[in-house]
Chain A
Amino acid sequence: MKIVVCIKRVPDMESRFRITADGKLVDEAGLKFDMSDFDGYAVEVALQLTEKLPQGEVVVVSLGPDAVQEVLRKALSMGAARAIHLKADRVPADGFAVARALAAELQGGGYDLIMFGKHAMDTMSGVVGPMTAELLGLPNVSAASKLDVASGKGTARRELEGGAEIVEFPLPAVVSIDEGIARPRYPSLKGIMAAKKKPLETKPAQLDVARLEVTKTELPADRQGGRIIGEGAAAVPELVRLLQTEAKVL
């Protein structure tokens, strides 16, 4: 069983974000970065799936500048066997361009499963996984909250609004991972030392011209909150009055 997990390096979402002078992008200078949350879950699921099997290999891929090697190393220290860095000056906002570069790399790689996080924490789009599946002509399951794989077949659960569906699919396939499926392990200290010796291959990403551009990025206006109407149960009548007359939601 050979699994590849596509991971992204994103800023720490607890950061206080600033916008660049031209108003177009988030200013990433001075921010701390890490592997995107859902990608961490995907790495964990991939490791758990292969650990159960006599022969299993987890490969990780990331596209972007040299700094993405940090998250590749992190995945290696969690237990992935090797890493591929698709080098690009920056990650384009156009998810389709990213999907094409990934598909070009993954084509013919002999992977049984190609995994993604359900979306990256910065772009929050979740389009690269399904697009890559389509470009490779593979079955796709988005946002799996459970995943089992046995004898060339996968079973996954997907959360829907007010319910869920259980789907079955043949391998190879593309699966993106939702929260709650597995808690990513802490890179063990031995794992961190071992990661130094694992192969990390760098090659240029094959990126087309992007046809989707970020033209503006804004911080949402602060809510005018902060109005405390009272203390304890005594404040309830006033709250109900405001909900009826001012907010008109009751």
Chain B
Amino acid sequence: MQDFYNIDSLLSEEEIAVRDSVRRFVDDNVLPIIGECYVEGRFPREIVPGLAELGVFGANLPEEYGCAGLNNVAYGLIMQELERGDSGVRSFASVQGALVMYPIYAFGSEEQKQHYLPKMAAGEIIGCFGLTEPDFGSNPAGMITMAREQSDGSWVINGAKMWITNGSTAQAAIVWAKTNDDKDQRSIRGFIVPTSSKGFRAKDQKGKLSLRASDTSELVLEDVRVPKDALLPKSGGLKSPLMCLTQARYGISWGALGAAIACFEEASSYAKTRIMFDRPIGGFQLQQLRLADMLTEIVKGQLLCVQLGRLKDRGEFTPQQVSLAKRNNVHIATDIAREARRLLGANGILAEYSAMRHMENLESVYTYEGTHDVHTLVLGQAVTGLNAFGA
């Protein structure tokens, strides 16, 4: 879309080059097939080697582990471009980078980092992130998955996880479990669990009407025994997985803008070419209102993200700031997708156009990684100092 606020001038030459390279990849490899994948309910696995070669997985992690070593603004722009393709594609990259590679980088031993990160950056090992449980979504502290340390130092894990992106594709799962009794959230530790382990099962969740081009699974761990070195040694307490989610949520703030941009581009081009009552529908005031609102919200969201990325690069960002960006940008993106779908009239319900696919996807994005409502409470607490959560 037109750079209405010259936001490019806030970006470095490399950041723009990164965005443009990923943009071209998405134009060539994602957009031509994604509508069909969505209808078929299939994640486009064939693009994974290309994404790996491009270097999008864990792109903001250091070069010494086979990653691109980008700053966080460049990383955010990658997420934006991937989600301009589809939220499912961005989710895949978010999980691999922010929820699997990041915890290994942040909480893993040097051996774990050397072993896993280069292979994950190369897409040779795909990972998933097991935190949410059937009965514990917004309240992960209540998890009941348990890991028991054995006398030989190995661990035995029991439990179930739900809504796990890449669950059935992954070779490695980052599983979060309590290691003491089930009331003690400080005992939560992370484990790298090979999905080929005995007692590990992943089953795709069927009947999704959103994120259809993404694998979402249920994980069951029944007496899964993992060696001592499966433990992420520096993980400790609920804070560890929440740190991962902050990373992923940062990417979502950018990603949602990508979906919004796709919808705006589609809607504005449609408005200029679709003739009704002998003139382009873009000439009618109601459609102009839609387009003006979309443009305004996208520009605001972009400015928000660039500043958030700069703060993150300086090590100054807070989880509350990320909550604000995720909450706002996903919210405006869902509105933009819906208005774009409406502007497209009957055509808007076809998979050939992208608006309705984004609209459906964004309902998931609105709900995962901290629902919109939970982030409202995070911000409410930041403003008032008063905790309005259930507990």
Residue of A with least CB distance to B63 = A190
Contact of A77 among B17, B22, B63, B70 (CB under 8 A): B17
Tally of chain B residues near chain A (CB < 8 A): 20
Q: Are B24 and A193 in contact (CB under 8 A)?
A: no
Residue of A with least CB distance to B66 = A190
Q: Are B54 and A189 in contact (CB under 8 A)?
A: yes
Among A187, A191, A193, residue most surrounded by chain B Cβ atoms (within 10 Å): A193
Chain B CB within 8 A of A2 CB: no
Residue of B with least CB distance to A184 = B24
B-contact bits for A47-90, CB 8 A (1 contact / 0 none) = 00000000000000000000000100110010000000000000
Q: Are A189 and B13 in contact (CB under 8 A)?
A: no
Within 8 A of A (CB), among B54-100: 54-56, 59, 63, 68-70, 74, 78
Question: Smallest CB–CB gap between B54 and chain A, Å?
Answer: 5
Question: Smallest CB–CB gap between A29 and chain B, Å?
Answer: 15
Contact of B14 among A186, A188, A192 (CB under 8 A): A192
A-B contact count (CB 8 A): 48
Q: Are B24 and A189 in contact (CB under 8 A)?
A: no
Residue of A with least CB distance to B15 = A192
Q: Are B55 and A188 in contact (CB under 8 A)?
A: yes
Q: When chains A and B are docked, how far (Å) is the Cα of A142 from the Cα of B17?
A: 31
Q: When chains A and B are docked, how far (Å) is the Cα of A73 from the Cα of B17?
A: 9
Within 8 A of A (CB), among B9-55: 13-14, 17-18, 21-22, 24-25, 50, 53-55
Q: Are A186 and B70 in contact (CB under 8 A)?
A: no
Residues on B with beta carbons closer than 8 Å to the beta carbon of A196: 14
Contact of A187 among B21, B50, B74, B78 (CB under 8 A): B21
**Chain A, interface size: which category?**
10 to 19
Residue of A with least CB distance to B17 = A192
Q: Are A193 and B13 in contact (CB under 8 A)?
A: no
Residues on A with beta carbons closer than 8 Å to the beta carbon of B13: 70, 73
Q: Are B25 and A193 in contact (CB under 8 A)?
A: no
A-contact bits for B303-331, CB 8 A (1 contact / 0 none) = 00000000000000000000000000000
The main secondary structure of chain A at its interface with chain B is helix
Q: Are B54 and A188 in contact (CB under 8 A)?
A: yes
Residues on B with beta carbons closer than 8 Å to the beta carbon of A187: 17, 21
Residue of A with least CB distance to B50 = A186
Residue of A with least CB distance to B57 = A189
Q: Are B63 and A189 in contact (CB under 8 A)?
A: no
Within 8 A of A (CB), among B276-299: none
Q: When chains A and B are docked, how far (Å) is the Cα of A201 from the Cα of B36?
A: 48
Question: Smallest CB–CB gap between B77 and chain A, Å?
Answer: 10
Residues on B with beta carbons closer than 8 Å to the beta carbon of A77: 17, 21
Residues on B with beta carbons closer than 8 Å to the beta carbon of A186: 21-22, 24-25, 50, 53-54
Q: When chains A and B are docked, how far (Å) is the Cα of A191 from the Cα of B25?
A: 15
Q: Are A190 and B14 in contact (CB under 8 A)?
A: no
Residues on B with beta carbons closer than 8 Å to the beta carbon of A73: 13, 17
In the complex where A186-B54, A188-B53 touch, is A193 in contact with B21 (Cβ < 8 A)? Answer: no
Q: When chains A and B are docked, how far (Å) is the Cα of A188 from the Cα of B56?
A: 9
Residues on A with beta carbons closer than 8 Å to the beta carbon of B70: 189, 193
Q: Are A193 and B69 in contact (CB under 8 A)?
A: yes
Q: Are B18 and A192 in contact (CB under 8 A)?
A: yes
Residues on A with beta carbons closer than 8 Å to the beta carbon of B74: 189
Residues on B with beta carbons closer than 8 Å to the beta carbon of A191: 55
Residues on B with beta carbons closer than 8 Å to the beta carbon of A193: 14, 63, 68-70
Residues on A with beta carbons closer than 8 Å to the beta carbon of B69: 190, 193
Q: When chains A and B are docked, how far (Å) is the Cα of A195 from the Cα of B55?
A: 15
Q: When chains A and B are docked, how far (Å) is the Cα of A195 from the Cα of B18?
A: 12
Residues on B with beta carbons closer than 8 Å to the beta carbon of A188: 21, 53-55, 68
Q: When chains A and B are docked, how far (Å) is the Cα of A247 from the Cα of B252?
A: 57
Q: Are B68 and A190 in contact (CB under 8 A)?
A: yes
Q: Which 6 residue pairs of A and B lie closest in terms of their CB atoms, listed nearest first?
A: A189-B55, A189-B68, A187-B21, A192-B17, A190-B68, A188-B55
Enumerate 12 A-B pairs (CB-CB under 8 Å) in ascending A order.
Answer: A74-B17, A186-B24, A186-B25, A188-B55, A189-B59, A189-B68, A189-B70, A190-B68, A191-B55, A192-B18, A192-B21, A193-B14
